[in-house]
A and B are shown apart, each in its own frame.
Chain A
Amino acid sequence: MATKTVELVVSPREPHFVGDGFRVHNFIPSAYRLDMQRMDPVIMMDYNSRYYFEPSEIPKGVGVHPHRGFETVTIAYKGKVEHHDSGGGGGIIGEGDVQWMTAASGVLHKEFHEKEWSKKGGDFQMVQLWINLPAKDKMSTPKYQSIENAAMSRYKLENNSGEIEIIAGEYEGLKGSASTFTPLHLFNAKLKKGATANFSFPNNYNTALLVIEGDIKVNSTEEAPTDHFVLMANDGEVFTIEATNDAIVLILSGEPINEPIAAHGPFVMNSKQELMQAFDDFNKGKFGYLED
């Protein structure tokens, strides 16, 4: 099998605030060569690199906003987030947990630092992904999958040198609990200094790494420090990650959906007409109502 080589190592861009609670570097779709098509089906990645939030009696976050046509995946590394939606759902995403929200036909939601956490303040570090849905599922019923860290499948590496947490997809025969609409692998590789892990994905799968902690080398040569994004080329299947010091790496690999993308604000559809419909439906209250 051919080696999947590194196409690009991307430094984090200047951060911006989403609401007042998320200080993020956007990689997809605004970084050079990382538009929505390039990492299809992963069409957005906001990365809140580790950032200290002062204690706040009033929780910081993002107020009510809609989504339609895709899924949001929130991976909490540090800190806690509380969310509520127009369907009456809600919950807390704690450290190590993942929340997988299928917005599909449409939800309104809001996301804030969890109340008690906010009062104490602390380090906050999260990734939010938007995973596109194929046209046939864009208007399906919204749903949640709450994936708690303790329940995640883990593959232990040799010599106690680390583990691969499987959020979605499959690694060495172990399956993640998240169900996806199109084939997608999402792992956290937690590697001790010097540990190596091997990965294999079909070469047409769009594949990337995000270095959450530590520094790594990909295929023994390409170095990627903390907070950097590594885009893998579609030229092979297998690659290796080596931790130069203790590291956590988010690994994403998905089969491209290869359908037209029409995106504006919080809606991602296939045509301009569907986008206009989304705005009209939202304005007419068809997404429901949620108090600010």
Chain B
Amino acid sequence: MNNFRLTTYLTSNIGADKSIIDQLLSHCAIRQYKKGDFLLRQGEKCEYSFFVENGLLRQFSIDDKGKEHIIQFAPENWFMSDRESVYFNQPSTYFIQALEYTTVFLVAETLLLELAKTDAAFLAFNNKLLHNHIRHLQRRITQLQSATAEERYLYFTKIYPDLTLRVPQILIASYLGITPESLSRVRKELAGKNHKK
């Protein structure tokens, strides 16, 4: 179990010794999903944090009118989960779906909690992960409240540099909370400003 992204991720992020990391990895199942497969559906209980080894996931909700709203994308090296469901034991209000052929590690919440009890470094890592997640969501809320469409788009490309080439415009627009037409206009205007012929 050495050439996985998850191994590198854990090694470079946790000051824990190798045995803890090996212990964690040995308890994680690895799964493959085809494009379109669901890892979680609304109403189900989310049991895992999904770590994307290869591929791409999206997490979204569907409103009363049947419209989808993407809250997050998870390409390689990202975790995706529903904290409300996984930690607070609620049925999930989200769907998690593979947008490409995707390989994920299933990291059980119970496993994380167990390891955090016995290993200080692991607890610190888990905290960092959570705070990172909170920071990401805070920024996202601010963006949705007060940033222009162009600012949102540019911020998106900073977080997800290659997704503009992997994801259809309509899904990016859904994430940004703008219409596909607005996204198209933003990209056209950016090209007008930045393209030197």
Interface residues of A (CB under 8 A from B): 65-66, 86-87, 264-266, 276, 279-280, 282-289
Interface pair B193/A285, CB less than 8 Å apart: yes
Expressed in whole angstroms, the minimum distance between the Cβ of A280 and any Cβ of chain B is: 7
Extra inter-chain contacts (7) besides given A87-B197, A280-B157, A283-B154, CB under 8 Å: A280-B161, A282-B164, A283-B164, A284-B194, A285-B191, A285-B195, A288-B195
Interface pair A285/B190, CB less than 8 Å apart: yes
Interface pair B162/A285, CB less than 8 Å apart: no
Interface pair A284/B190, CB less than 8 Å apart: yes
Interface pair A286/B164, CB less than 8 Å apart: no
17 contacts between A and B (CB under 8 A): A66-B165, A86-B191, A86-B195, A265-B162, A266-B165, A279-B165, A280-B157, A282-B164, A285-B187, A285-B188, A285-B189, A285-B191, A285-B194, A286-B191, A286-B194, A289-B191, A289-B192
Interface pair A279/B195, CB less than 8 Å apart: no
Interface pair B157/A286, CB less than 8 Å apart: no
Interface pair A276/B161, CB less than 8 Å apart: yes
Q: Which B residues are in CB contact (< 8 Å) with A66?
A: 165
Q: DSSP class of B's interface residues: helix, strand, loop or mixed?
A: helix
A279 to B193, CA, bound (A): 17
A279 to B196, CA, bound (A): 17
CB proximity to A under 8 Å, residues B160-197: 161-162, 164-166, 187-197
Size range of the chain B interface in the assembly? 10 to 19
Least CB separation from B195: chain A residue: A288
Q: Which A residues are in CB contact (< 8 Å) with B157?
A: 279-280, 283-284
Interface residues of B (CB under 8 A from A): 154, 157, 161-162, 164-166, 187-197
Interface pair A287/B165, CB less than 8 Å apart: no
Q: Which A residues are in CB contact (< 8 Å) with B164?
A: 282-283
Expressed in whole angstroms, the minimum distance between the Cβ of B164 and any Cβ of chain A is: 6
Expressed in whole angstroms, the minimum distance between the Cβ of A244 and any Cβ of chain B is: 39
Least CB separation from A87: chain B residue: B197
A276 to B162, CA, bound (A): 9
Q: Which B residues are in CB contact (< 8 Å) with A264?
A: 162
A284 to B189, CA, bound (A): 10
Least CB separation from B153: chain A residue: A283
Interface pair A279/B191, CB less than 8 Å apart: no
Q: Which B residues are in CB contact (< 8 Å) with A287?
A: 191, 195
Interface pair A285/B161, CB less than 8 Å apart: no
Interface pair A279/B161, CB less than 8 Å apart: yes
Least CB separation from A279: chain B residue: B161
Interface pair A289/B195, CB less than 8 Å apart: yes
Expressed in whole angstroms, the minimum distance between the Cβ of A42 and any Cβ of chain B is: 23
Q: Which A residues are in CB contact (< 8 Å) with B190?
A: 284-285
Q: Which B residues are in CB contact (< 8 Å) with A265?
A: 162, 165-166
A242 to B157, CA, bound (A): 53
Q: Which B residues are in CB contact (< 8 Å) with A280?
A: 157, 161
Q: Given that A87-B197, A289-B188 are contacting pairs, would A284 and B154 also be in contact in the complex, using a CB cutoff of 8 Å?
A: yes
A94 to B103, CA, bound (A): 41
Expressed in whole angstroms, the minimum distance between the Cβ of A230 and any Cβ of chain B is: 30
A284 to B195, CA, bound (A): 9
Interface pair A289/B197, CB less than 8 Å apart: no
A20 to B161, CA, bound (A): 25
A264 to B193, CA, bound (A): 26
Interface pair B195/A286, CB less than 8 Å apart: yes
Least CB separation from B189: chain A residue: A285
Which of A65, A87, A285 touches B192 (beta carbons < 8 Å)? Answer: A285
Expressed in whole angstroms, the minimum distance between the Cβ of B28 and any Cβ of chain A is: 27
Expressed in whole angstroms, the minimum distance between the Cβ of A232 and any Cβ of chain B is: 33
